Structure 1
Amino acid sequence: MESAETRCRLVLIVPDIADAAEQERLLGDALRGGDVASVIIPQYALGLDEFQQRAEKLVALVQNYDAAAIIAGDSRVAGRARADGLHIEGGADAVAEAVEKFSPKLIVGAGHSGDRHEALEIGEKSPDYILFGRLDGDSRAEAHPKNLELGEWWASMVEIPCIVMGGSEPASAMDVAGTWAEFVGLGRAVFSAPGGPAAMVAQVNAVLDEKAPRFEY
Structure 2
Amino acid sequence: MTDQPNSPQLYLITPVGAAASTVGPLLAEVMDRFPVACLRIPGAGSEDELGRIADLAREIAHARDVAVVIDDHVQLALRHGLDGVHLKDGARSVRYARKELGNDAIVGAFCGASRHDGINAAEAGADYVSFGPCGETALGHGAVAGLELFQWWSEMIEVPVVAEGALTPTLIGHLAPVADFIALGSEIWSDPDPVERLAYIWR
Normalised by the size of structure 1, how large is the TM-score?
Answer: 0.79
Percent identity over the alignment is 29
Contact 1:30 / 1:190 at 8 angstroms: preserved in 2?
Answer: no
* Equivalence for 1:7: 7
* Equivalence for 1:192: 190
Q: How much has 1:169 moved relative to structure 2?
A: 3.2
Higher relative contact order (CA 8 A, sep 6+): 1
* SS of equivalent residue, structure 1 residue 92: coil
Mapping of 1:148-187 within 5 angstroms?
A: 148-178=147-177, 180-187=178-185
* AA matched with 2:90: G
**For the residues of structure 2 that align with 1:36 and 1:138, how far apart are their CA atoms?**
25
Q: CA 1:49–1:13 in 2, change beyond 3 Å: closer, same or farther? A: same
Contact 1:166 / 1:172 at 8 angstroms: preserved in 2?
Answer: no
* SS of equivalent residue, structure 2 residue 25: helix
**For the residues of structure 2 that align with 1:117 and 1:10, how far apart are their CA atoms?**
25
**For the residues of structure 1 that align with 2:73 and 2:121, how far apart are their CA atoms?**
20
Q: Are 2:29 and 1:37 aligned? A: no
Q: How much has 1:52 moved relative to structure 2?
A: 1.1
Could you list the per-position Cα deviations for residues 68-108 of structure 1 after superposition, in whole angstroms to 9, with x for gaps in the alignment?
Answer: 11111311111122111211122323112212332422111
Query: How many correspondences in the alignment?
Result: 198
Q: CA 1:147–1:28 in 2, change beyond 3 Å: closer, same or farther? A: farther
Structure 1: gaps spanning 5 or more residues: 208-217
Q: How much has 1:5 moved relative to structure 2?
A: 8.4
**For the residues of structure 2 that align with 1:49 and 1:148, how far apart are their CA atoms?**
39
* Equivalence for 1:215: none
* SS of equivalent residue, structure 1 residue 56: helix
Contact 1:48 / 1:74 at 8 angstroms: preserved in 2?
Answer: no
* AA matched with 1:33: R
Q: CA 1:198–1:21 in 2, change beyond 3 Å: closer, same or farther? A: same
Could you list the per-position Cα deviations for residues 119-162 of structure 1 after superposition, in whole angstroms to 9, with x for gaps in the alignment?
Answer: 11111112110000269x8847xxx8524332221111100000
* Equivalence for 1:102: 101
Q: How much has 1:189 moved relative to structure 2?
A: 2.3
Q: Structure 1 residues 12-21 or 76-85, which shifts more?
A: 12-21
* SS of equivalent residue, structure 1 residue 11: strand
Q: How much has 1:203 moved relative to structure 2?
A: 4.2
Contact 1:166 / 1:173 at 8 angstroms: preserved in 2?
Answer: no
Q: CA 1:47–1:193 in 2, change beyond 3 Å: closer, same or farther? A: closer
* Equivalence for 1:88: 87
**For the residues of structure 1 that align with 2:7 and 2:155, how far apart are their CA atoms?**
15
Q: CA 1:204–1:166 in 2, change beyond 3 Å: closer, same or farther? A: same
Structure 2: gaps spanning 5 or more residues: none
Q: How much has 1:25 moved relative to structure 2?
A: 2.5
Q: How much has 1:17 moved relative to structure 2?
A: 3.3
Q: CA 1:177–1:97 in 2, change beyond 3 Å: closer, same or farther? A: same
Contact 2:74 / 2:101 at 8 angstroms: preserved in 1?
Answer: no
Q: How much has 1:166 moved relative to structure 2?
A: 4.6
Q: How much has 1:39 moved relative to structure 2?
A: 0.9
**For the residues of structure 2 that align with 1:75 and 1:138, how far apart are their CA atoms?**
30
Q: How much has 1:165 moved relative to structure 2?
A: 0.8
Contact 1:33 / 1:197 at 8 angstroms: preserved in 2?
Answer: no
Contact 2:112 / 2:133 at 8 angstroms: preserved in 1?
Answer: no
Q: How much has 1:27 moved relative to structure 2?
A: 2.0
Contact 1:39 / 1:67 at 8 angstroms: preserved in 2?
Answer: yes
